[in-house]
Structure 1
Amino acid sequence: MTEPCDLPAVTARALIGERKLSPVELMDSCIGRIEAIDPAVNAIVARSFDTAREAAQESEAAMMRGDDLGPLHGLPLAVKDLIDAKGLPTSFGSVLFADNIAAADEAIVAMLKRAGAIVVGKTNVPEWGAGGNTRNALHGATGNPFDPERSGAGSSGGSAVALATGMVPLATGSDTGGSVRNPAAFCGVVGFRPSPGLIASNSRNMAWLQISQLGPMARNVSDACLMLSCMLDRDARDPLSAILHAGGTPDAAAYRDPPRSDLGNLRIAATTDFGFAPTERVVADAFRSKLATFGSAFRGVEWTHPDCSNADEVFAVLRAVAFLGRHKDLAEKHPDKVGPNIRDNVAEGLGYSALDVARALSMQTEMYRRWQSFFGVHDFVLAPAITISPRPWSELYPAVIDGKPTKSYFHWLAMAYAVTNVGHPTVAIPAGRDGAGMPFGIQVIGPRGGDVATLAVAREIETLLAANPDTARPVPDLAWLGRQPPMSSRPGFRDFD
């Protein structure tokens, strides 16, 4: 029998609205799952169980009174530990911020709470979100729910693991080089990176730089749509949001339940590497195999991709600029208390000149315009969500892929940052397992600003995948996982350098 914590968010919310599921029962189920499973994976690094239970009791009372209920009424929510949730620590995975308690909610958390969601805890991240492997010197490593010795990716790794194991139905994420999409693919869940400005951020210190975006994470596309529809309010503190929503807040209903999409009308481009990403053979083979099972549903599939010339250089420079703007003082004042990814990014940023930055921005603009021409003759792009199958978390980052050295600690994220560079909406959806037996994810990339259409297509593809046991969303063996030793007992759990 399905436990309440395993219910999809849309289903749980409907049952609450019908008074067939108590928010208290749902919260107790989620807390019970966290207590039973989290020691084996270390996804939840701060807990607010007492206040969450109190909020669930208030939600139940409102339900019984017949009050108007918000679209997320009574649904437990996990918040990524780069995002403020009032009264809980926001440590950024840094030993320097171990005691940093959020005085207020970040804008998206406030919106989700107003919609009825209840924060149950914070999820683990790499230090300051730097890198695609969720481990840090403060909270330690997060293990993949299908094999705790392997990585759950990052930086939204804790959120993805919490979703995959049924600890919560919804979780927040953020994405620069795939930080929503990579862990979604590694853990068999859904992660959406929206068009810049769709979801406002009031905390981004370089607000005009669009490479980092907030996004919803869930176990299926419909749940992600429900969550996204509650994250759309205009916020003048975010200039991209102010511009995009200048005519008013978008229609939440269109995002909550996108219209059906006829796949038979779509011209699809498919790629295993965008022409430059160091894709592992097991990933490329899995993608071709998965696409073969549903590709006939489209009007046509062409093996091609947008021109991504200079993508590595563009992302390297803009990423370094972003880290330099936020972490230079931290790295210089506390060099012994920041990890290697932060130190390397700051050092790289200091090595670039104004001319390097100008060149990167110009190349980014050229790349963007090439992508717009490409989408004039192709409707969507399908690609693997990440370049490799999950590896041990003890490997800080992949130095070699199929015998070839990577260019940097983030080069293995190229499948994701190809899209980051140009700001198109993209959603990672689970597609069974790869040849190594680990979860596999497909990236659905839509036209600039076509967020609703991208989610609609992803939902249709998800339905096709779910009908085939070889491509349906994989589910971890929780009974087995609960018998595994605590992550904290594993060698190197808090090692960093």
Structure 2
Amino acid sequence: MRNLSAESADLVAWSARELRACIARKDISPVELMQACLDRIDAINPAVNAICARDDERAMAAARSAERAVMRSDGNLPLLHGLPLGVKDLQDTADLLTTHGNVRLRSHVPASDNALVARLRQAGAIVTAKTNVPDSGAGANTRNPVWGATGNPFNPALNAGGSSGGSAAALATDMLPLCTGSDTGGSLRIPASLCGVVGLRPSPGMIANDARTLGWSAISVLGPMARDVSDTAWMMAACAGPHPMDPLAVPTRPNAFWPLPEVDLSTLRVAFTPDFGTCAVDPMIRRTFAQRVQSLSSAVAHCEELEWSLNEGHRCFDVIRAESFLAGFEAIYRTQPETLGPNVRANVELAAHITLSERAQAHLAQTRIFRQFQRAFEHVDLIVAPVTPLSPFPWRQLYAERIDGVEQRNYYEWLSLTYLVTLSTCPALSLPCGLDESGMPFGLQLIAPLHQDARLLAMGRSLETWWGSAGRPRPDIDALRREPRPELREIVTHPPQWAAGSGYHESAPTAV
């Protein structure tokens, strides 16, 4: 196998598709690629704290096994063969520490993978590390008492979003080519936007979830994250499909996602909204969004503003989210309340005051919102909105308390641009679209009809190609390399406990 220098070729910055093609041609070795990713983690993670538990020894062993498979192969290798993978720390990984960023689980080592991780391993991906999350995944600021906070790669004093903040920051800094995410109120889309990468919230059931507590609830989904739309679609092809333990699983075909169909941008009918008629949005974000829409309008067939008010969506989301948290955490709230973070406790306590009538009204409201979106798609191909209502704020600030002078009701109302789309159950793509006026990444939220995930990705790729180099911004890697941020670990009060067989590795006091 012909090895290229990881340093001169800068392997870690190549797309996942390029890396996989080079592995197949024997231009690079999976071992070389894995070492390059581990070296990048050692060099950059101290500045952003995106990576938590690591599995270096087994990751290298798996890379050597992948290399042997390449050498004896006739070319028929799995789709993601030899590619390093980051797994969100809410998702079970066999024999690798999975803490959820929660003190109760700081030594938890699952016996098996969840369905998504198992499918990605089967597709040849190599689980390399876990990526950081908020405590129990609650909130859109990635910080917890086990691993600390994740800083934004463009300014580590600011937040990276959440709850998939570790995955987004790891991708933005080229520590890993592919990462997993999950999304309830925007947990995948928001960090992708704030870190300048791509994240897909699929239609419910498009990626099977065998760990969903409420099996018939469509509020939470698993999804792929990558550095461009094509890699995201390619990863989707490896993980989509039914599973016997997920009653919502859609019997889709992997080849529905790759290769993506070509979409002529000039034929698309687009509707846009800066706020769904109800969300507080910072004036600077409104200006940035208006500029992007004005530019886009020249490239598509038709562009119109949605005259909507989704005001009933706020209480609807309160109720449905609280229902989900009650199902997942009520027993722990009764027996070990001290182990729950304030965000989780707030949701469980809210649920205690919700009546059956309010629950029925919430589900009726969600049905109306779903049908409102679907009726709009009778006339347009794509709905476009901002992903976040403001530029990243300091990670030390738990959540955005006010937006454009409007006090937010709770720790998650600032996510309303994304949680209203969650209620629609439509697939939504966070697409990087340059920088805002403060020099931080700005993302567009692209929304398509239910179960038209592949077409959404195809439209997203056409937009990405049209934006060109003005699309995905890049952080200053050299500056990150020079400036470790030990303060990101200051909030650690219950460090992870190593467990036999966990694969947990800490390479330096400031790098986890």
Shorter-chain TM-score: which interval?
over 0.9
Q: Report the counterpart of residue 406 of structure 2 in structure 1.
A: 404
What CA distance in whole angstroms lies between the structure 2 residues aligned with 1:288 and 1:235?
42
Q: Report the counterpart of residue 332 of structure 2 in structure 1.
A: 330
Q: Report the counterpart of residue 23 of structure 2 in structure 1.
A: 16
Q: Relative to structure 2, which stretch is displaced further, 161-170 or 399-408? A: 399-408
Q: Note the 1:198-347 alignment, pairs <5 A.
A: 198-241=206-249, 244-245=250-251, 250-304=252-306, 306-347=308-349
What CA distance in whole angstroms lies between the structure 2 residues aligned with 1:84 and 1:456?
30
What CA distance in whole angstroms lies between the structure 2 residues aligned with 1:38 and 1:47?
12
Q: Is the 8 A contact 1:306 1:370 kept in 2?
A: no
1:279 CA displacement: 1.1
Q: Report the counterpart of residue 14 of structure 2 in structure 1.
A: 7
Q: Report the counterpart of residue 180 of structure 1 in structure 2.
A: 188
Instruction: Could you tell me which runs of 5 or more consecutive residues in structure 1 were left unpaired when the two chains were aligned.
Output: none
What CA distance in whole angstroms lies between the structure 1 residues aligned with 2:112 and 2:26?
32
Q: Report the counterpart of residue 461 of structure 1 in structure 2.
A: 463
1:343 CA displacement: 1.0
What CA distance in whole angstroms lies between the structure 2 residues aligned with 1:74 and 1:131?
33
Q: Is the 8 A contact 2:54 2:128 kept in 1?
A: yes
What CA distance in whole angstroms lies between the structure 1 residues aligned with 2:389 and 2:417?
6
Q: Note the 1:13-162 alignment, pairs <5 A.
A: 13-67=20-74, 68-162=76-170
Amino acid at match of 2:135: E
1:441 aligns with 2:410: no
Instruction: Could you tell me which runs of 5 or more consecutive residues in structure 2 were left unpaired when the two chains were aligned.
Output: 1-7, 495-512
1:402 CA displacement: 1.8
What CA distance in whole angstroms lies between the structure 1 residues aligned with 2:349 and 2:184?
19
1:458 CA displacement: 0.3
Q: Relative to structure 2, which stretch is displaced further, 308-317 or 95-104? A: 308-317
Q: Report the counterpart of residue 497 of structure 2 in structure 1.
A: none
Q: Is the 8 A contact 1:227 1:256 kept in 2?
A: no
Amino acid at match of 1:340: P
Q: Note the 1:332-481 alignment, pairs <5 A.
A: 332-467=334-469, 471-481=470-480
Q: Deviations over 1:452-488 (max 9, x none)?
A: 1100000000111124xxx321111111011223344
What CA distance in whole angstroms lies between the structure 1 residues aligned with 2:488 and 2:140?
22
1:152 CA displacement: 0.3
1:108 CA displacement: 0.9
Q: Is the 8 A contact 2:271 2:304 kept in 1?
A: yes
Q: Is the 8 A contact 1:126 1:134 kept in 2?
A: yes
What CA distance in whole angstroms lies between the structure 1 residues aligned with 2:151 and 2:257?
32
1:418 CA displacement: 1.2
Q: Is the 8 A contact 2:271 2:384 kept in 1?
A: yes
Aligned residues: 486
Amino acid at match of 2:471: A
Q: Deviations over 1:371-407 (max 9, x none)?
A: 2111111211011111110000111001111222112
- Alpha-carbon distance change, 52 to 305 in structure 1, aligned in 2, over 3 angstroms: farther
Q: Deviations over 1:182-237 (max 9, x none)?
A: 00000000000011111100001101110100000000000001110011231021
Q: Deviations over 1:388-447 (max 9, x none)?
A: 100001110011112221121100101101110010011001111101110111111001
What CA distance in whole angstroms lies between the structure 2 residues aligned with 1:472 and 1:147?
19
State the SS of the aligned residue for 2:442.
strand
Q: Report the counterpart of residue 510 of structure 2 in structure 1.
A: none
1:334 CA displacement: 2.2
Q: Deviations over 1:296-331 (max 9, x none)?
A: 111011011555240101111100110011111212
What CA distance in whole angstroms lies between the structure 1 residues aligned with 2:493 and 2:257?
40
1:292 CA displacement: 2.4
Q: Is the 8 A contact 2:146 2:492 kept in 1?
A: no
1:239 CA displacement: 0.5
What CA distance in whole angstroms lies between the structure 2 residues aligned with 1:325 and 1:15?
46
Amino acid at match of 2:101: G
What CA distance in whole angstroms lies between the structure 1 residues aligned with 2:436 and 2:144?
28
What CA distance in whole angstroms lies between the structure 2 residues aligned with 1:491 and 1:279?
31
What CA distance in whole angstroms lies between the structure 1 residues aligned with 2:307 and 2:172?
31
Q: Is the 8 A contact 2:149 2:488 kept in 1?
A: no
State the SS of the aligned residue for 2:239.
coil
State the SS of the aligned residue for 1:289.
helix
1:368 CA displacement: 1.3
What CA distance in whole angstroms lies between the structure 2 residues aligned with 1:490 and 1:449?
41
What CA distance in whole angstroms lies between the structure 2 residues aligned with 1:194 and 1:493?
33
- Structure 1 outlier segments of 4+, above 4 Å: 488-495
1:289 CA displacement: 1.3
State the SS of the aligned residue for 1:239.
coil
1:253 CA displacement: 2.0
Amino acid at match of 1:18: R
State the SS of the aligned residue for 1:256.
coil
Amino acid at match of 2:245: R
Q: Is the 8 A contact 2:151 2:488 kept in 1?
A: no
What CA distance in whole angstroms lies between the structure 2 residues aligned with 1:344 and 1:206?
19
Q: Relative to structure 2, which stretch is displaced further, 76-85 or 299-308? A: 299-308
Q: TM-score, normalised by structure 1?
A: 0.95
Q: Relative to structure 2, which stretch is displaced further, 205-214 or 61-70? A: 61-70
1:194 aligns with 2:202: yes
What CA distance in whole angstroms lies between the structure 2 residues aligned with 1:176 and 1:489?
25
1:336 CA displacement: 2.3
1:109 CA displacement: 0.6
Q: Is the 8 A contact 1:428 1:443 kept in 2?
A: yes
1:491 CA displacement: 5.1
State the SS of the aligned residue for 1:240.
coil
Amino acid at match of 1:262: D
1:335 CA displacement: 2.5
What CA distance in whole angstroms lies between the structure 2 residues aligned with 1:350 and 1:39?
41
Amino acid at match of 1:10: R
State the SS of the aligned residue for 1:179.
coil
State the SS of the aligned residue for 2:127.
strand
1:493 CA displacement: 5.8
Amino acid at match of 2:58: T
What CA distance in whole angstroms lies between the structure 1 residues aligned with 2:102 and 2:132?
11
What CA distance in whole angstroms lies between the structure 2 residues aligned with 1:318 and 1:435?
35
State the SS of the aligned residue for 2:432.
strand
1:144 CA displacement: 0.5
1:337 CA displacement: 2.3
